[in-house]
Chain A
Amino acid sequence: MSRRVLTMFMIIFVIFLYAPTLLLPIFAFNDSSIISFPLSGFTLNWLKSLGAAEELRKAAGTSLIIASVSSIIATMLGLLATSATVRYQFPGKGFAIGAIMLPMFLPEIIIGVSLLTVVLLAGFKLSIYTIIMGHVLICTPFCIAILRSSFQQLDPSLEEASLDLGESRINTFRRVTLPLIMPGVVSSLLIGFTISLDEFVIAFFLSGTEPTLPVYIWSQLRFPQRIPSVMALGTLLLILSVVLLTLSELLRRRSARRLDQKATSGAL
């Protein structure tokens, strides 16, 4: 009885979660500039209109650079932090983890305005570098959450064997550890990339003359006649994120299988 109620609840829950998102592709291909039912017909015009938008292409380029650089730096910092916390005991460990994970629990606006304050006081110019700093800060905790499960499943005796056989620490990491945790690393890169690509609040406060894709979308939302094109753009971004997240999940599962553990722990 209660199982059936819970199952029903779960089905409604998932539908509620996805319902708004499903409107995106519907209106992206709807032949009307007004977003409302009933639908009036199928069109590819909104999708085609994106190709002509010069600013959009620039914003997409900026976002790709920021997302790539942020995810690489965040994953490297995440690797160091995870390796240190999973394998070693040292004084101040709790404090260090807390400080590094804190951005996960802070309102993004606080991170945005505090970095903005520093930039303003120091007389720096807002640029893609300031956005990258903010994005690395918020991506790192998620990368750590993913890498942690890879490191926890890693058998330490393999590294010890390599060290006993005379390999240096660097070579052991490169030839033993890294190949074993590679799926986790790629998964962390993909998650970092997705978060940065999608992030708006920090980018809005820290962007100068080069807007990111979400900041560009935000500027378009003010014009009702642009809304269908924004829906088309949103659909493309949605597909991209789903592809990246699916890849990341498949890699995570492969990693879990390779390290002979069950694969239910999820991305968090």
Chain B
Amino acid sequence: MIKSAQLDSDARRGLSQISLPLAFSVLLLAAPLAILLAMSFWTQDFLTLDRTFTLANFKETWTSPIYRTLMLRSLKISIIVTVLTVGLAYPAAYYMSFVAPNNRKAMLVFLITIPFWTSYLMRIFLWKVILGFNGVVNGSLIGLGFIDTPLDWISYNQFAVIITLSHAWLPFAVLPIFVVMEKVNRSYLEAAQDLGDTPFQRFRRITLPLSMPGVVAATLIVFIPTIGDYVTPKLVGGPDGLMIANMIEIQFKNANNAPLGAALALSALLLVSSVAGIFVWLNRRYLKAEGAA
């Protein structure tokens, strides 16, 4: 530890300025998370809390078939959504950074950002309107005489959840990839071209490795929060598409079992963080192999 007397005035000024926002985040994020953790080791009987330490909630979370099903389904949906989102966002970011003329870039970024910050709830609800049994797709197809009965594979199932969530997250996946691509030094690409690399080789050996940090950021920003979404499964998921967040909400609100809800929430967070950790580790190995790290 450095004593504060030894800190230069710049460091002291920095520390004093950061202290308020840091205190806010410690007080309203770190402390509540710690209390949530404590809560997960307690038990609740209707309204009375029993504060004796027990692992029962975690045991139930990881062994009861219903929670395990929900947990694994949520993980599966999050992974599919992340792959779809980042996979579609990458070429879009590539277009914006490498193909679009410079004077259009700011406009494109703005165009991509707008949907992300407008009516989250309405956007999800609109997918219910589009994909539902009496929705826009089915209603229009029946009205036009193409089909007689509604297509049931598009409504109230995991397919609908995946489409809706991917659509909701797309803009957020594009931006981090774009920002990193903008920093790729264009002279490397010219050098590779002069030395005889084909466009594909240039992409694989320069652009892809150098844009990986953006891909990692996009992946984390989509993957981890997706597991906590409960509006989408509730609106478009049907009974088959419910996710772990719906169960967390039930435990906190209707079932009055906050300790079990806390254990479910923390277990879900632990699960996605571990998978995300493995992904980050694999990416490091890839970058090392490419000599870019």
Task: Report how far A256 CA is from B31 CA in the complex, Å.
Answer: 38
Q: Which of B59-67, B128-136, B285-293 is near enough to bind chain A?
A: B128-136
Closest Cβ–Cβ distance, residue B264 to chain A (whole Å): 9
Task: Report how far A128 CA is from B231 CA in the complex, Å.
Answer: 21
A83: chain B residues within 8 A (beta carbon): 17
Closest Cβ–Cβ distance, residue B38 to chain A (whole Å): 9
Q: How many residues of B contact A (CB 8 A)?
A: 92
Selected from B15, B129, B134, B178, the residue in CB contact (under 8 A) with A266 is: B178
Whether, in the assembled complex, B278 has its beta carbon less than 8 Å from a beta carbon of chain A, the answer is no
Contact check, B30 vs A17: say whether CB atoms are below 8 A apart.
Answer: no
In the complex, what residue of chain A is closest to B176 when comparing beta carbons? A268
A131: chain B residues within 8 A (beta carbon): none
Contact check, A102 vs B25: say whether CB atoms are below 8 A apart.
Answer: yes
Task: Report how far A78 CA is from B176 CA in the complex, Å.
Answer: 20
Contact check, A133 vs B28: say whether CB atoms are below 8 A apart.
Answer: yes
Contact with B along A58-101 (1 / 0, CB 8 A): 00000000000000000001101101110111111100100110
Whether, in the assembled complex, A113 has its beta carbon less than 8 Å from a beta carbon of chain B, the answer is yes
Q: Which of A46-54, A178-186, A198-206 is near enough to bind chain B?
A: A198-206
Selected from A20, A81, A199, A217, the residue in CB contact (under 8 A) with B167 is: A20
Contact with B along A213-234 (1 / 0, CB 8 A): 0100110010000010010001
Given contacts A77-B24, A107-B269, A217-B122, contact A88 B225 (CB under 8 A): no
Contact with A along B109-147 (1 / 0, CB 8 A): 111111101111111011101100011100110010000
Q: How many residues of A contact B (CB 8 A)?
A: 90
Task: Report how far A253 CA is from B136 CA in the complex, Å.
Answer: 39
Contact check, A36 vs B134: say whether CB atoms are below 8 A apart.
Answer: yes
Whether, in the assembled complex, B262 has its beta carbon less than 8 Å from a beta carbon of chain A, the answer is yes
Whether, in the assembled complex, A45 has its beta carbon less than 8 Å from a beta carbon of chain B, the answer is no
Give the residues from 151 to 191 in chain A that come closer than 8 angstroms, CB to CB, to chain B.
191
Whether, in the assembled complex, B165 has its beta carbon less than 8 Å from a beta carbon of chain A, the answer is no
Contact check, A37 vs B228: say whether CB atoms are below 8 A apart.
Answer: no
B99: chain A residues within 8 A (beta carbon): 3, 6-7, 10
B119: chain A residues within 8 A (beta carbon): 21, 24, 198, 234, 237-238, 241
Contact check, A35 vs B135: say whether CB atoms are below 8 A apart.
Answer: yes
Selected from A9, A121, A245, the residue in CB contact (under 8 A) with B92 is: A9
Question: Secondary structure of the A side of the interface?
Answer: helix
Contact check, B15 vs A265: say whether CB atoms are below 8 A apart.
Answer: no
In the complex, what residue of chain B is closest to A17 when comparing beta carbons? B115
Contact check, A245 vs B114: say whether CB atoms are below 8 A apart.
Answer: yes
Closest Cβ–Cβ distance, residue A199 to chain B (whole Å): 8
In the complex, what residue of chain A is closest to B109 when comparing beta carbons? A266
Whether, in the assembled complex, A115 has its beta carbon less than 8 Å from a beta carbon of chain B, the answer is yes
In the complex, what residue of chain B is closest to A6 when comparing beta carbons? B95
Contact check, B28 vs A17: say whether CB atoms are below 8 A apart.
Answer: no
Number of A-B contacts (CB under 8 A): 272
Closest Cβ–Cβ distance, residue B15 to chain A (whole Å): 5
Contact with B along A236-268 (1 / 0, CB 8 A): 011001100110010001000000000111111
Whether, in the assembled complex, B33 has its beta carbon less than 8 Å from a beta carbon of chain A, the answer is yes
In the complex, what residue of chain A is closest to B220 when comparing beta carbons? A105
Contact check, A88 vs B123: say whether CB atoms are below 8 A apart.
Answer: no
Given contacts A80-B20, A242-B118, A264-B109, contact A113 B248 (CB under 8 A): yes
Contact with B along A118-146 (1 / 0, CB 8 A): 10110000000000011011001000000
Contact check, B136 vs A108: say whether CB atoms are below 8 A apart.
Answer: no
Whether, in the assembled complex, B94 has its beta carbon less than 8 Å from a beta carbon of chain A, the answer is yes
B residues neighboring A (CB under 8 Å): 2, 7, 10-15, 17-18, 20-22, 24-26, 28-33, 35-36, 39, 49, 88, 91-92, 94-96, 99-100, 102, 105-106, 109-115, 117-123, 125-127, 129-130, 134-136, 139-140, 143, 167, 170-171, 175-176, 178-179, 182, 199, 220-221, 224-231, 235, 245, 248-249, 252, 258, 261-262, 265, 268-269
A residues neighboring B (CB under 8 Å): 2-3, 6-7, 9-10, 13-14, 16-18, 20-21, 23-24, 27, 34-38, 77-78, 80-81, 83-85, 87-93, 96, 99-100, 102-111, 113-118, 120-121, 133-134, 136-137, 140, 191, 194-195, 198-201, 205, 214, 217-218, 221, 227, 230, 234, 237-238, 241-242, 245-246, 249, 253, 263-268
Instruction: Given contact pairs A23-B129, A77-B20, A114-B265, enumerate 18 new A-B contacts (beta carbons under 8 Å).
Output: A3-B99, A13-B91, A13-B170, A21-B119, A37-B140, A84-B15, A99-B22, A102-B29, A105-B220, A106-B228, A107-B227, A113-B261, A117-B258, A198-B117, A237-B119, A245-B118, A253-B106, A264-B106
Q: List 7 A-B contacts (CB under 8 A).
A: A18-B115, A37-B143, A90-B11, A100-B22, A234-B119, A238-B118, A246-B110
